[in-house]
Amino acid sequence: MIRVTSHNVILTSCLFYLSLIGLIVAEEEGEVFTNCGGVFDEPNGVLHTPNFPGPYETPIKCQWLIRAPPGKKIIVYFTQYYMKDSFFVSAYKAYQDTSTYVGRLDYGDGEIKWGQDDLLSLVVYQPYMLIEFDVNFIGNRHVRVINHLLDVYGFNITYEIVDANANVSKSTCSVSTCSYLGDCVVSANYTDFECQCFDGFFGENCQYGPFCNPEKNVNFCYNGGSCK
């Protein structure tokens, strides 16, 4: 028979704590995955994390460089963006690498964080836009909703290069404007954005479904409230 004492509990707790530290350190000190990112100078394109919408390898560090010709600006649309942090955006007048550049401007104090910044679109008027994705371990870095987005990691966003004086007040969308119940998609010519709702949900913003359906007079709100 093994006699359990407070010393046993303390020792076990210490060993468990040390093992957790070891796991975290081991993960952070592993080989960094860098087979991602790239240089983009086409008029429009898609940027996504490896294996989207599945999990990506960690630790990971990716760089996407978008280059615009003179008289143009760069617009990134956060169509399917599920990150809470670890997403960095900067613009440059001239750029060779992260140590050789001219006129750096960081957006969102360098790191774009969920809930603190406008995640519909981002406009850069400089000829170079650098997006960096730097994650040591996956952890709690993703926006998720029960039943539909539990297995979605990273992002799948779009960009376009347009004239510097072009109108950018498009009606765009994102995972939040689609009520977390659909995917925001853009047309091939980047003129229209719309929410493609998951099964069982409908509406311009996927705001109606099993518990809120005006067509069937289903409303979970009381006292005359309107549901969505």
> pLDDT tens across 15-50, in order?
333 333 333 433 445 699 999 999 999 999 999 999
Residue 223 counted as domain residue = no
Residue 107 counted as domain residue = yes
Residue 112 counted as domain residue = yes
Residue 145 counted as domain residue = yes
End-to-end CA distance of the chain: 60
pLDDT > 90? residue 90: yes
Q: How many domains does one find in the chain?
A: 1
Residue 45 counted as domain residue = yes
d(CA 30, CA 150): 26
Residue 144 counted as domain residue = yes
DSSP three-state, residue 105: strand
> pLDDT tens across 101-160, in order?
999 999 877 788 876 656 789 999 999 999 999 999 888 888 876 555 567 889 999 999
CATH of the domain at 118: 2.60.120.290
State the amino acid at position 79 in one-letter form. T
Query: Cα 159 to the chain's mean position, in Å?
Result: 14
Owning domain of residue 85: 38-168
Per-residue pLDDT, 194? 95
Residue 208 counted as domain residue = no
- Other beta carbons less than 10 A from residue 137's beta carbon: 13
Tokens 């087979």 belong to which residue?
A: 35
Tell which residue, 128, 140, 119, has the closest CA to residue 184: 119
State the amino acid at position 49 in one-letter form. T
Question: pLDDT class for 220, splitting at 50, 70, 90?
Answer: confident
Measure the CA dihedral 60/47/182/86, to 10°: 40
Q: pTM here?
A: 0.79
More confident site: 60 or 144: 60
Residue 81 counted as domain residue = yes
Is the Cβ–Cβ distance between 164 and 73 less than 8 Å?
Answer: yes
